Amino acid sequence: MARPAEWTIPALAYLGDAVMELFVREHLVASGLAHSAALNRAALKFVRASAQAAAADRLLPLLTEEETAWFHRGRNSKHLNYPKNADPADYRKATGLEVLFGYLHETGQESRARELFAAGYELPEKSTKNEE
């Protein structure tokens, strides 16, 4: 399997989006929401570009030098089109965040990814962990 440095930025963002989606879903289910309509509405508060950009702003001071470099790679990647309802600056930050989470996942740093997810969204860290 290729190392993250060998992956394209869009591929890491795609993977990171899935990692973050899993964390969001775990958090929402753990919070007691049980119906799909309520879960989907609540998830939008996490997955919108504006919400991800705000989370990125909270995370930047907490990132290591290497993590910051991965975030910047994603943020600075070329975007050919943006969703109509997303501010381009927010969309770039959101992409940077997704690349960071893709990188953390592919380098086996799940606990760090969970820690950063909780900090970015100002959640208690245990709310993003699977209960066994």
Residues known to be catalytic = 17
List all residues 6 or more positions away from 9 whose beta carbon is below 8 Å from its beta carbon: 73, 74, 77, 95, 99
Is residue 58 within 8 Å of 123, Cβ to Cβ? no
d(CA 46, CA 28): 10
- Joined tokens for residue 126: 């245990």
Tokens 């709310």 sit at which residue?
Answer: 127
